[in-house]
């Protein structure tokens, strides 16, 4: 069943919002009034995942300028997330991140967003844009082997924020329909 156009599935997960204590949970309600770019990735300490996570982190300010927050999710524990964040980028780590990672260790949130590969216990690469009222406005889900485009995510976010009809290949600053 498509999720777009419906209220985003609610969630509450442990996160790295407080990297020291790992005691600060994140929930959908925390993002009310802002746009949320919620993305799922398969596993910590893998090959494609850090390229996406660090690319989003490097451009987090652009999302903030669009009144959007970013939240990354995998089925790993917050302890694994912390270890990966504390590992330098040149050693296959993430280094400092400009947004939190959440732990869907129960796999419930991945199931609700229909990205869980049940037999592997990991999530597909799913990216969701949720509007300030909590309505899911965009979703893209694809295979484990291909990373997502930060440019395209920003383009879609800006298109959604116009509130207008945006033709194929529309770019920010161009006329809408």
Tokens of 2: 């498509």
Residue from 102, 123, 103, 105 nearest 113 by CA: 123
SS3 content of the chain, % helix, strand, coil (to 5): 30, 25, 50
Catalytic residue among 3, 8, 37, 49: 49
Task: Say whether 166 is catalytic.
Answer: no
Give the active site residues: 49
């Amino acid at each position: 069943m498509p999720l777009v156009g419906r209220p985003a599935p609610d969630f509450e997960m442990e996160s790295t919002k407080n990297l020291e204590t790992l005691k600060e949970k994140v929930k959908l309600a925390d993002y009310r009034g802002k746009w949320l770019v919620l993305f799922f990735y398969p596993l910590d300490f893998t090959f494609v995942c850090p390229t996406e996570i660090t690319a989003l982190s490097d451009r987090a300010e652009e999302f903030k300028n669009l009144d959007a927050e970013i939240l990354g999710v995998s089925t790993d524990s917050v302890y694994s997330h912390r270890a990966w964040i504390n590992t330098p980028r040149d050693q296959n780590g993430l280094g400092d991140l400009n947004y939190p990672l959440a732990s869907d260790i129960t796999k419930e949130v991945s199931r609700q967003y229909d990205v869980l590969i049940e037999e592997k216990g990991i999530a597909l690469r799913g990216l969701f844009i949720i509007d300030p009222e909590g309505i899911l406005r965009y979703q893209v889900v694809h295979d484990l082997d291909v990373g997502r485009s930060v440019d395209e995510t920003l383009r879609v976010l800006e298109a959604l924020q116009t509130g207008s009809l945006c033709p194929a290949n529309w770019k920010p600053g161009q006329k809408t329909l």
